[in-house]
Every structure is written in structure tokens, then in C-alpha cells.
């Protein structure tokens, strides 16, 4: 036991607290929905789940999960290539690739793993990975594991992206890939795919998009960012999650051409060295996709709710960033104010969490509100009223 190790850990925790950056967990004692119970017995409006289509507590999905629990058991107790591949895994991979318009798909236990295990097998020292500065942590980590040349462009700065493409060519890059979140989770904004696609064509680069905050509800049919821009078929590699709109349990995937998926199944380390997704989650995700394919009303409701809420919060005088996406980031700047605001909101019955460093840059703290298709008009209005009261109390508006 090294005493100095433990005392330096303690100091680091104190530093985090002193900077107002310490995150506390809150305990929920009901299923995920727009109105949740907390462990202290209170009932609050929930404005921060990724449950975009309200499927986290859907009865058909729960039924599919419990049926699979009976027919296929609790766990696979194996990685996929040993004895962990159930016929449900194969069905979900086919369903996801068909729905999203790709040749094939590979499942992971999380999108974090899909991104973490993507770059190292596909891109080597003579290749170039060109990445948006605000990409998700799992993309950043995945790129770190690859030996490829790395280039980073300022968030959505297409001039810098083009410079990176030129530099990669100057350095003799064999293959180039442009890597971006489809929707930036802290900002509620879309990647400029309409500008990225022509640049990729001009410089003969591939495009990889992480659509965790888009799959299932962005685009007319819920196929994500490419569909939103009318650019289906232009994204070479797509990663996504089962842990947000598609039921909210867990799981991730990569869709691409079949040879790419074949190679990932040979070489991608989170796939080779980590347990298979449990059958109940796989069966439930199949059901979630079935619901999403036929139920266009959820998508219509989330769009209406999101733009209504965004405009109401803006009207109060708050700075709201991003595009017309259900992620509604309300900027407050200072982490301590974000924490304080979150506490006051909760006391009035609104659960909304402050986001600050390291999940967003220092000095850009915000409250990230997320709208779902299931928020009712009175719940949206109540949240707006609470936001007005708390904002005035704190002098933010």
C-alpha cells in the first residue's frame, strides 16, 4: 500500500469539488419516463433522459425481453466467436443493416466499444484519420488506439477540415477517413454532412458517422443524420447505440460494407474479448426497431415537442444553442451556477442536470434538456414555468 498514492487521489477529489465540478448521483426508483420517482419519495419531471421515443418502459418491448429471457436464458457466458452467438444476434444485425441501408452490421455491448474497436483494425500507420474536435470521448479513445496519422479540425469548421485533407495528402496518406458525430450530444447540432460529403468526394476520403443521438428518430424514417440531409448511402461507416432511442438498455453497433464488418469480426478487440449482448436485450431491440418502422407518430411528436420547447425557453431570454434537435442546451457558462440551477430546478420538481468540464469545455457549462415524444403539453409548459422562476431567482435571465 502506497500512502502517497491514496493521499494524491484524495487531493484530486478535493480539487474537483473546489472547482465545483464534482458530480453527484441521484437515485431514481421508478422506470425511466417523463415523470419519475426519486429515492426520497418525490415525483419530478424528467428532462434529461435519452429516451427520445419513450421506449425505455414500453410494454411490447418489455414483453419481448421477458419472452427471450424464458426461451434463450439470461446470459450467453461467452464472447460471440466462441459460443456467444445466438440466432437473435444474427437477426438483429440483419435488421439493423437493412433498416439503416448497409450491407452488414456488427453488435457490441456498447457504442463506446463500437467506436473503441473501430479504428485500430481498419486504419494503419500509412492512413489518416481526420476528426471533429468535439467528437464523443469514445471516438477520441478509439482513434488513440489506432496507429494512423491523426488530424483534428475545429468543431464543424469546413475550412479546417479541407486543410486537414490537404495535409493528409501532402503526407502521403494511403486512405483518409473523416470522422464525426452525426449529432453533437452536448450541443444538439448536426454535423455539416452536406458539406462533408462533397469534400470527401473531392479528396477521395471515407466518411464515418456516430449517430447515437439520431438513430430511430432523426430523418423521415428515423434512419438518422444522412436521411435528415437527404444523403443516404454517402456515409461509409455508421456507429450507433441501442442505449438511447432504441429502448435505452445497452448495446452498440457498426454498419458498413460486408467486408469491413467481416474484418471487424476478425480483429475488433471489444468484439473478440468481451461478452455477447444478452438475448433479452437483443430481442427487445428487434421489437424497438419494429415499432420504429411502423409508428411514425412518435417521430412527429418528438419534432413538434422539441421545437415548441426550444422556442419557449429562448423566449424567456436564455441562450439556447444547437439546431432543431430534441437536445436543448441552455448555456449558463459557470459550472457552479449550472450545479446550483440544477438543484433549484429539482426542488421545484424538474430533473435537469448541469453539464460542465470535462464533458464540455471549461467555461461553457450548460443545462442539457432532452425532449421526448412522450412529454405532454402540460409537462413542457410546467418545465418552462420552472425555468422562468429559477432563472429569475439566479439572475440568469
Catalytic center residues = 185, 213, 244
Q: Does 111 bind ligand PLP (CB under 6 A)?
A: yes
Q: Does 278 bind ligand PLP (CB under 6 A)?
A: no
Of 3-11, 21-29, 106-114, 282-290, the segment contacting ligand PLP by CB under 6 A is: 106-114
Closest CA to 288 of 326, 231, 241, 255: 241
Q: Does 191 bind ligand PLP (CB under 6 A)?
A: no
From 185, 225, 285, 372, residue interacting with ligand PLP (rule: CB under 6 A): 185
From 99, 112, 151, 229, residue interacting with ligand PLP (rule: CB under 6 A): 112
Task: Give the C-alpha separation, 283 to 2, whole Å.
Answer: 47
Task: Give the C-alpha separation, 183 to 186, whole Å.
Answer: 9
Q: Does 328 bind ligand PLP (CB under 6 A)?
A: no
Closest CA to 31 of 62, 3, 68, 73: 62
Task: Give the C-alpha separation, 271 to 266, whole Å.
Answer: 9
Q: Which of residues 34-73 bind ligand PLP (CB under 6 A)?
A: none
Which residue, 213 or 375, has its beta carbon nearer to ligand PLP?
A: 213
Q: Does 270 bind ligand PLP (CB under 6 A)?
A: no
Sequence-distant (6+) residues with CB within 8 A of 373 are: 52, 53, 54, 217, 297, 298, 299, 301, 302, 305
- With residue 6 as reference, give the H or E element that holds it: helix 3-18
Closest CA to 51 of 294, 232, 291, 213: 213
List the x/- string, 245-264, binding to ligand PLP by CB under 6 A.
Answer: -------x------------
The distance of closest approach from Cβ of residue 8 to ligand PLP in the complex, given in angstroms and rounded to an integer, is: 30
Angle, helices 279-294/59-72, rounded to nearest 10 degrees: 150
Task: Give the C-alpha separation, 352 to 29, whole Å.
Answer: 16
Q: Does 189 bind ligand PLP (CB under 6 A)?
A: no
From 165, 191, 212, 238, residue interacting with ligand PLP (rule: CB under 6 A): 212
Closest CA to 100 of 195, 206, 239, 197: 239
Of 59-67, 104-112, 199-207, 275-283, the segment contacting ligand PLP by CB under 6 A is: 104-112
The distance of closest approach from Cβ of residue 216 to ligand PLP in the complex, given in angstroms and rounded to an integer, is: 13
Closest CA to 368 of 306, 316, 308: 306
Q: Which of residues 114-143 bind ligand PLP (CB under 6 A)?
A: 115, 136, 138
List the x/- string, 152-181, binding to ligand PLP by CB under 6 A.
Answer: -----------------------------x
Q: Does 241 bind ligand PLP (CB under 6 A)?
A: yes
Say if residue 114 is preceded by a cis peptide, omega within 30 of 0. no
The distance of closest approach from Cβ of residue 170 to ligand PLP in the complex, given in angstroms and rounded to an integer, is: 30
List the x/- string, 192-211, binding to ligand PLP by CB under 6 A.
Answer: ------------------x-
Sequence-distant (6+) residues with CB within 8 A of 231 are: 193, 194, 197
CA triplet 183, 56, 242: central angle to 5 degrees?
Answer: 50
Binding site for ligand PLP (CB under 6 A): 110-112, 115, 136, 138, 181, 185, 210, 212-213, 241, 243, 252
Amino acid at each position: 500500500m502506497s500512502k502517497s498514492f491514496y493521499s494524491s487521489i484524495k487531493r484530486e477529489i478535493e480539487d474537483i469539488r473546489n472547482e465545483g465540478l464534482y458530480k453527484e448521483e441521484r437515485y431514481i426508483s421508478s422506470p425511466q419516463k417523463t415523470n419519475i420517482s426519486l429515492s426520497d419519495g418525490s415525483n419530478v419531471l424528467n428532462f434529461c433522459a435519452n429516451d427520445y421515443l419513450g421506449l425505455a418502459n414500453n410494454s411490447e418491448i418489455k414483453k419481448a425481453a421477458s419472452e427471450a429471457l424464458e426461451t434463450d436464458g439470461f446470459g450467453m457466458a461467452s464472447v460471440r466467436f466462441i459460443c456467444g452467438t445466438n440466432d437473435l444476434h444474427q437477426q438483429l444485425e440483419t435488421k439493423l443493416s437493412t433498416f439503416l441501408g448497409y450491407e452488414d452490421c456488427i453488435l457490441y455491448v456498447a457504442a463506446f466499444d463500437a467506436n473503441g474497436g473501430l479504428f485500430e483494425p481498419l486504419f494503419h500507420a500509412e492512413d489518416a484519420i481526420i476528426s471533429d474536435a468535439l467528437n464523443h470521448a469514445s471516438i477520441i479513445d478509439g482513434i488513440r488506439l489506432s496507429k494512423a496519422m491523426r488530424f483534428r479540425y475545429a468543431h464543424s469548421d469546413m475550412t479546417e477540415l479541407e486543410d486537414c485533407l490537404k495535409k493528409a495528402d501532402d503526407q502521403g496518406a494511403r486512405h483518409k477517413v473523416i470522422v464525426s458525430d452525426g449529432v453533437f450530444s452536448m450541443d444538439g447540432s448536426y454535423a455539416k454532412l452536406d458539406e462533408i460529403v462533397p469534400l470527401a468526394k473531392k479528396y477521395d476520403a471515407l466518411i464515418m458517422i456516430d449517430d447515437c443521438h439520431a438513430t430511430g428518430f432523426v430523418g423521415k424514417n428515423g434512419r438518422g443524420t444522412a436521411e435528415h440531409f437527404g444523403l443516404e448511402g454517402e456515409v461509409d461507416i455508421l456507429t450507433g447505440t441501442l442505449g438511447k432511442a432504441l429502448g435505452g438498455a445497452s448495446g452498440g453497433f457498426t454498419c458498413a460494407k460486408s467486408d469491413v464488418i467481416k474484418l471487424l469480426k476478425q480483429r475488433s478487440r471489444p468484439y473478440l474479448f468481451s461478452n455477447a449482448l444478452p438475448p433479452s436485450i437483443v430481442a427487445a431491440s428487434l421489437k424497438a426497431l419494429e415499432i420504429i418502422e411502423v409508428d411514425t407518430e412518435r417521430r412527429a411528436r418528438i419534432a413538434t415537442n422539441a421545437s415548441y420547447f426550444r422556442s419557449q425557453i429562448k423566449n424567456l431570454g436564455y441562450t439556447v444553442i444547437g439546431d432543431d434537435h430534441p437536445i436543448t442546451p441552455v448555456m449558463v457558462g459557470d459550472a457552479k451556477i449550472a450545479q446550483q440551477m440544477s438543484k433549484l430546478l429539482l426542488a421545484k420538481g424538474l430533473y435537469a442536470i448541469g453539464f460542465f468540464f470535462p464533458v464540455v469545455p471549461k467555461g461553457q457549462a450548460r443545462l442539457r434538456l432532452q425532449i421526448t415524444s412522450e412529454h405532454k403539453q402540460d409537462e413542457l409548459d410546467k418545465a418552462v414555468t420552472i425555468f422562468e422562476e429559477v432563472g429569475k431567482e439566479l439572475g440568469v435571465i
